[in-house]
Structure 1
Amino acid sequence: MITTPFPSWPDTAPDLIAVAAGRAAAETVIVGGRVVNVHTREILDGWQVAIVRGRFAYVGPDASHCIGPGTQVIDAGGRYLIPGLCDGHMHIESGQLTPAEFAAAVIPHGTTTMFVDPHEIANVLGLRGVRLMHDEALMQPVSIYVQMPSCAPSAPGLETTGFEITSEDVTEAMTWPGIIGLGEMMNFPGVIHADPKMLAEIAATQAAGKTVGGHYAAPDLGPAFHAYVAGGPADDHEGTREEDAVARMRQGMRAMLRLGSAWYDVKTQITAVTERGLDSRNMILCTDDCHSGTLVHDGHMNRVLRHAIECGADPLVALQMATINTASHFGLERELGSIAPGRRADLILTSDLRRLPVEQVFARGVQVAENGRLLVDCPHLDWPEDVRQTVHLGKVLGAEDFTIAAPEGANEVEARVIGVVENQAPTQALTRTMPVTNGEVVSDTARDIAQIALVERHRGTGGVVNALVSGFGYQGRMALASTVAHDSHHMIVVGTCREQMALAANRLGELGGGVTLWRDGAELAHVALPIAGLMSDSPAAEVAAAAEALGQAMQDCGCALNNAFMQHSLLALVVIPELRISDLGLVDVTSFERVDLFV
């Protein structure tokens, strides 16, 4: 069930005008503060704010004419009033939480607007999964706008998903009330080569007057990049260098700078503004992927904002990147992103513009959090039972399913190895000489080479693709399995022992999805994610505690990477270079071709 939609400006305009003119009383007036105006980039000391029906009616030096007998007057005590924070690009499923629990986790951090791309669940459940996410998003006390996923599969011909998204699906979704645009166009080779399906999706979005999200995950800024921009994407969050941000902004795109749990791409790009002095209007801050532990312990967009300031950004400029710039990009400048008449009354009271303690949070005129404590309910959807039963292995897996057979008669082989890069989405395409024992290639912990397997889990084919990975540092007889496997979300198993890999994979079949770590025949930790094998509807603190135990178990097995699980979950992401694994084999993402394990 969807709650009553938030009243539109036309519905509330008579009341807003009456309050601003002094003919009617406001519901709430905030006095004694300093309003941060992101339109003019100034601090207006002593300005007051009047709110009615969830919107700002008056913002000015004296709101006394808006106060009546029933008006709640709040004294800000000299604190700053800043707009509620907007996340310009993110995936709720990466928090391993449902929209309701994600909202409950981030509201106390001051996030009042999110632009979400549920392409993870789209890969598992198709358009139906997107609709479920959309419907729960509309039920929340903050604004969650959904981008219709564009690419399932993300790389046609290189992976098999549970469902495919079609241009007809995109056209239908554009009629839904909470859809704000098209999700990141990950199939950038398809756009560059004018693939009719990709162009049809972009055309349907533009015909609806909505925004097309971008994803150009390549360092080449030559003709291929220019062809991609000409194809219609309006923003991009895949930049990692200053020249990436500059190139995107020069072409009329918004450069989205992300700080997620494992992506640290703000520091290297924000210098385009802080050092080169370029116009900051086309720069937006976002998270992309945030783990539940990050949300509970470190924050959300307030964390990104603080980081941008620490990287040298003027606090008011950084604040624009997390509010008005984002709202303007999605055509919502008159609706949110600033403390100005007519906008949704989303604001934060904070005593320090650099440290950004989030002391009080208001969304749609209602106080929703105070000093880290959530004050409102975040309603849950009644998720269908079959959505909790999406792990189909087809059989009980054994150690033999994880055998890497060497070419007949070989004593050693030259093998391709996926190289994990800490804190970055790209991997390295490595080659290593591997010894052959009894006709098999096995992991080599002395050289930090483990086995990786992609287990098909959507159709129960029993298919397993085996390869090698380096960078986790695992030791002993262990295995980590996960049904969070961007973007196709089959099952990724990384281990040093075939028997443990089989145990871990079968355990996820029992759990209905999630993450599990095994060592020497025993489960050390697990995170149950029964909804589509991606999310839990338990509170964020509970999921974060389970994830923290998993992280500790990974460290106990020798892994010292920052947010190592995020790296694990991206090993099947066949649209980010250089080397990935899919249900169809190893994929060279620099050439978008399948390659053999052995060179």
Structure 2
Amino acid sequence: MEPKHDLPSWPEAAPRLVAVAAGREMADLVIRGGRWVNVHSREVLDGHDIAVAAGRIAFVGPSAAHCTGPGTEVIEAAGRYMIPGLCDGHMHVESGMLTPAEFAAAVIPHGTTTMFADPHEIANVLGLAGVRMMHDEALMQPVNLFMQMPSCAPSAPGLETTGFAISAADVAEAMTWPGIVGLGEMMNFPGVIAGDPQMLAEIAATQRAGKTVGGHYASPDLGLPFAAYVAGGPADDHEGTVEADAVARVRQGMRAMLRLGSAWYDVERQITAITERGLDPRNFILCTDDCHSGTLVDEGHMNRVVRHAIACGCDPLVALQMATINTATHFGMERELGSLTPGRRADVILTPDLRTLPVEHVIARGRTVARDGRLLVDCPHYDWPAAARATVRLGKRLGAGDFAIAAPEGANSVTARVIGVVENQAPTRALTAELAVTDGRVEPDEGQDVAQIALVERHRATGGVVNGFVSGFGYRGRMAMASTVAHDSHHMIVVGTDRAMMAAAANRLGEIGGGITVWKDGAELAVVPLPIAGLMSDSPAAEVAAQAGAMMRAMAECGCTLNNAYMQHSLLALVVIPELRISDLGLVDVTRFELTGLFQ
């Protein structure tokens, strides 16, 4: 399916824009009597009009009367602030558990009109063909949804097996597609540091295409390894968690992306680089990274991030720059979007307050797309093929025995390595625990908050199950939770205290083609079907959010008290973020980037 294009380029629209600005022709739309938030000069200018033609801004000034005719649509700003549509500098559509169309439908009422998305989740499941499906649906939307070509599938070669692998040739091909704006986050930072030929070839293909290389440096080491990574070419990074991370990145010419997602709260500890140290904010960008559907429906999207940055002490105009013009400039699109100035796409928000940022009216490409929280346009769907809906292949029906962990011969107890969940952060801790042995099997320990974790292979029907232990969820009683969202290889993660229920949860997801399920005392408490690649639903966001809400309540019923614990669950196989993870090949020590044994 070929994507639709309904917006003329600036050169194509220029004759009309010039004629409207000069008053020789009348504008299609005039937004009248607003307070112009100019993110180029960091000013608020009262009593201004914006004139729009062919979906682009033709004129901004104290009066657009000279180009307002009988056929011109007039929107009365009535003294409200006119701000650029918000831009998300780094995010994953799949994390919303929604397709691009439904994700767009969810965030448009919140004022997000531009997204730079890395579809590396679907790349791990369906390869380049899946990326193309995401790309094509993205270009069908009434707002700007750009894709980055995923760089790392697998994210750590030799430590996990994915459904498909991305090659440098794939990257080079994708750079020719109209909606690809760069290379997705380069997660294989050890590969870049070591001069891995494939990683450097992917970066080179992106740079030759004149596009932006996304970064992902998930290490606290800001010494020579960080210097080597920057030298390799990544232009931004969103993995910082403390002020020193943000400072180091901008000093080395990168953009520091500060994220507030459903579970990542990394803005407050880094924005002090601006608010207290006084660093130039031009190289700081706000993003979400991962937001699930419940957050999008109940709390917002980039408007939520901007409000949070302001609450952390950031000047509202600086926060807006970090969510508009800074982002556009980073991706080489400053002349296309990110500000309310001539020639740019007419993406405008009307709001009565810059601090609390209520989004009352959203205009994208010169037409009203949402008002007072209500979506007013269609977000077209791609015709997802059957192959994208049949991706959970277990190879056999699983039983409790597949989740049994055999103890070393003759052992009465063992010292086991345990993945330690850290609330609101992506890194885990490498813990140990003394665990009892019963009938030759190592048992989880509710008293120590140690549950079992298993990674079930689901791409090639091998029937493989890798077992381990995890701590931090607080689960009690007999329960299990399974998900085919398992960053980044997206096998199946099962966490539980009862082996039979772990098997039941895994089999359930095999039956429905993927998603999330929570079980307690032998019965299913909640399910979120995600039939597309086992990652996404093409149902409306509110429906998926309701299912996700029931899932979160079910986790709480099983004893979990973590904030947005589902995000923590889904990242337990992310073998590029320290310290300890699980993959289809075994436990992974991410401080050394090597497989390690379950028992010490």
TM-score of the superposed pair, with normalisation by structure 2: 1.00
* Distance in 2, Cα, partners of 1:440 & 1:469: 16
Whether contact under 8 Å (2:509, 2:516) holds in the other structure is yes
Are 2:449 and 1:448 equivalent residues in the alignment? yes
Query: In the aligned structure 2, how far is the partner of 1:230 from the partner of 1:297?
Result: 41
Q: What letter is aligned with 1:53?
A: A
Matches of residues 128-277 of structure 1 in structure 2 within 5 Å?
Answer: 128-277=129-278
* Alignment match, 1:287: 288
Between stretches 27-36 and 255-264, larger displacement belongs to 27-36
Q: Deviations over 1:282-321 (max 9, x none)?
A: 0000000001000000000000000000000000000000
User: Does residue 9 of structure 1 match 2:10?
Assistant: yes
- Note the C-alpha offset of 1:520: 1.5
Cα deviation, residue 154, structure 1: 0.1
- Contact 2:23–2:67 (Cα < 8 Å) also in 1: yes
User: Identity across aligned pairs (percent)?
Assistant: 78
Give me the whole-angstrom Cα distance separating, in 1, the residues matched to 2:286 and 2:518.
34
Q: Which residue matches 1:370?
A: 371
1:355 is matched with 356
SS in 2 for 1:377: coil
Distance 1:577 1:5 in 2: 44
Equivalent residues in 2 for 1:432-471, closer than 5 Å: 432-471=433-472
On the 8 A contact 2:512/2:531 being kept in 1, the answer is: yes
- Structure 2 portions without partners, runs of 5+: none
Does the Cα contact within 8 Å between 2:193 and 2:225 map onto a contact in 1?
Answer: yes
Partner in structure 2 of residue 122 of structure 1: 123
Do the aligned residues in 2 keep the contact of 1:5 with 1:138 (CA within 8 Å)? Answer: no
- Residue 532 of structure 2 corresponds to 531
1:107 paired residue number: 108
**SS state of the match for residue 46, structure 1?**
strand
Note if contact 1:403-1:498 (Cα within 8 Å) is conserved in structure 2: yes
CA deviations 1:360-393 (Å, max 9, x no partner) are: 0000000000010000000000000121000000
Assess if the C-alpha contact under 8 Å between 2:21 and 2:58 holds in 1: yes
> Counterpart of 2:420 in structure 1: which amino acid?
G
Task: State the secondary structure of the residue aligned to 1:405.
Answer: coil
Q: CA deviation at 1:496?
A: 0.1
For 2:313 and 2:300, the matched residues in 1 are separated by: 20
Question: Who is 1:575 aligned against?
Answer: 576
Partner of 1:42: 43
CA contact (8 A) 2:172 2:205 kept: yes
For residues 526 and 48 of structure 2, the distance between their equivalents in structure 1, rounded to whole angstroms, comes to 53
| Corresponding residue SS for 2:417 | strand
Asked if 1 retains the 8 angstrom alpha-carbon contact of 2:580 and 2:587, the reply is yes
Is the CA contact 2:416–2:432 (under 8 Å) kept in the aligned structure 1?
Answer: yes
Within 2, Cα distance between the matches of 1:387 and 1:74? 43
- What's the counterpart of residue 32 of structure 1? 33
* Mean Cα deviation higher: 2-11 or 428-437: 2-11
TM-aligned CA deviation for residue 5 of structure 1: 4.4
Q: How far 1:4 moved relative to its partner?
A: 2.7
Matches within 5 A, 1:372-521: 372-521=373-522
SS, match of residue 17 in structure 1 = helix
* Equivalent residues of 2:57, 2:342 under 8 A apart: yes
1:170 corresponds to which letter in structure 2?
Answer: V
Report the counterpart of residue 89 of structure 1 in structure 2: 90
Amino acid at match of 1:555: A
For 2:507 and 2:193, the matched residues in 1 are separated by: 41
Report deviation, 1:447: 1.1
Deviations 1:224-281 (A, max 9, x none): 0000000000000000000000000000000000000000000000000000000000
Instruction: Encode CA deviations 1:13-59: one digit per residue, 9 max, x unaligned.
Output: 00000000000000111111100000000001001110001000001
Mapped contact 2:7–2:54 kept (Cα < 8 A): no
Structure 2 Cα separation of the partners of residues 429 and 51 of structure 1: 56
Q: Are the aligned partners of 1:214 and 1:234 in contact in 2 as well (CA < 8 Å)?
A: yes
- Check the 8 A contact 1:88/1:286 in 2, yes or no: yes
- How many angstroms apart in 2 are the aligned matches of 1:433 and 1:520? 26
8 Å Cα contact 1:360/1:369 also seen in 2: yes
Provide the residue aligned with 2:62 in structure 1.
61
Matched letter for residue 202 of structure 1: I
State the alpha-carbon separation in 1 of the partners of residues 91 and 432 from structure 2. Answer: 34
Show CA shifts across 1:73-103 (max 9, x none).
2211110000000000000000000000000
Residues in 2 aligned to 1:340 and 1:63: alpha-carbon distance in whole angstroms: 14
Equivalent residues of 1:237, 1:258 under 8 A apart: yes
The CA distance in 2 between the partners of 1:122 and 1:416, in whole Å, is: 31
Question: 1:34–1:81: 8 Å Cα contact kept in structure 2?
Answer: yes
Q: Tell me what 1:20 maps to.
A: 21
Secondary structure of the equivalent of 2:518?
strand
Distance 2:117 2:73 in 1: 34
Note if 1:52 corresponds to 2:53. yes
**Aligned mates of 2:596, 2:131 — CA distance in 1:** 32
State how far apart, in whole Å, the 1-side matches of 2:362 and 2:44 are: 19
Correspondence for 2:314: 313
Q: CA deviation at 1:434?
A: 1.0
Q: Distance in 2 between matches of 1:371 and 1:206?
A: 41
- How big is the shift at 1:6? 2.1
Moved over 4 A (4+): none
**Equivalent residue letter for 1:272:** A
Partner SS for 2:169: helix
Worse overlay, 435-444 or 14-23: 435-444
Structure 1 letter corresponding to 2:550:
A
2:544 is aligned to: 543
What's 1:325 paired with?
326
The residue type paired with residue 487 of structure 1 is D
Alpha-carbon distance in 2 for matches of 1:145, 1:304:
20
Could you report, residue by residue, the CA deviation over 1:501-543 in whole angstroms, capped at 9, with x for unpaired residues? 0000000000100000111211110000000000000000000
Query: Structure 1 residues 68-77 or 464-473, which shifts more?
Result: 68-77
Q: TM-score, normalised by structure 1?
A: 1.00
Aligned-partner Cα distance in 2 for 1:551–1:72: 45
Secondary structure of the residue that 2:344 maps to in structure 1? Answer: coil
In structure 2, what is the equivalent of residue 556 of structure 1?
557
1:480 CA drift (Å)? 0.1
For 1:517, give the aligned amino acid: V
Distance, in Å, in 2 between the alignment partners of 1:395 and 1:5 is: 48
Aligned residues: 599
